[in-house]
Amino acid sequence: MLKSENALIARICHDMITPLNAISLGFEAFETSGDKSLFNGIKESIDKANIILTFVRELYSEKSNTFCYSLKSLNQLVADFLEKYNISFELASGFENIPNIAGKIIMYNAVVAKEIMPFGGIVNAKIDDNSAEIVTVCLGKNVSIPNLNMDVELNSRNIMHVNLLQLLKESGFRIIAYQEESQVIIREQMIA
C-alpha cells in the first residue's frame, strides 16, 4: 500500500509544482522590476493551484454512499480543472443529482483525459439514465487510449488509471475503452 500512496503523492506534487513555481518566480521578478503586470501571471498561477487542490481534495474525500453531487456543481468542478489543461468539458445527464460513485468515476475520467490529451481537446461525459452507464468521449490531437491494466508497476504516471480501475472493480462496474480515429471512448457500466 505504501508504494501506491507514494505514487499518488508524487502525482499530486507533480501537478502542483508548475503553478507554485510560477508564483515564486513571479514574486521574485516583481520584487526586482516593480512591474505590476506580473500580478496577472501570479494570479493565474494562484488560481490554477487552487483549482487543482480543490479538485484533488474532492476526488479523494470520503463521502457516504448516499451522498449526491448536483449536476451543476460536478460539471463546474471538472470543467474548471480541465480548463487549466486546455480541455473543455461538458457533462450531460437527465438526473439533477449524481450519486457519489458516478461523480468519482467522472472525476477520475477527467484525470485520465488530462493524461491522454497532452495538447488539449474536448471531453463530453454522459450518464445514461436507463442503463446506468457513464460514457466519456475524449476528442483531441494525438489522443491515445489509456493503458487500463491493473497489473503494472505503480508510478506517478499510472496511479490515476490504477485507482480508477480499483474503484470500478470495488463498485461493481466494468470498463470498456476503445479508440475511433481522433477520439477515445471510455464506457463504464454497473454489472447487474
Q: Model confidence over 129-175: pLDDT tens digits? A: 787 799 999 999 888 887 777 777 777 677 777 888 888 888 888 88
Q: Which amino acid is at 100?
A: N
pLDDT at 34 over 70: no
Question: What pLDDT, on a 0 to 100 scale, did the predictor assign at position 8?
Answer: 63
pLDDT in tens, 51-75: 888 888 888 888 888 999 999 999 9
pLDDT above 90: percentage of residues in the chain: 33
Euclidean distance between the first and final Cα of the chain, in Å? Answer: 30
Check: CB of residue 174 under 8 Å from CB of residue 189: yes
Over residues 4-13, the pLDDT tens digits come to 555 566 566 6
Q: What is the pLDDT of residue 72?
A: 97
Beta-strand pair 121-128/87-93: parallel
Average pLDDT, the chain: 83
Cα 47 from Cα 139, distance rounded (Å): 26
pLDDT band at 119 (very low <50, low <70, confident <90, very high): very high
Contacts of 191 (CB under 8 A, 6+ apart): 172, 173, 174
Q: Is the pLDDT of residue 111 over 70?
A: yes
Domain residue spans of the chain: 2-190
Query: Which CATH architecture group holds 2-190?
Result: 2-Layer Sandwich (3.30)
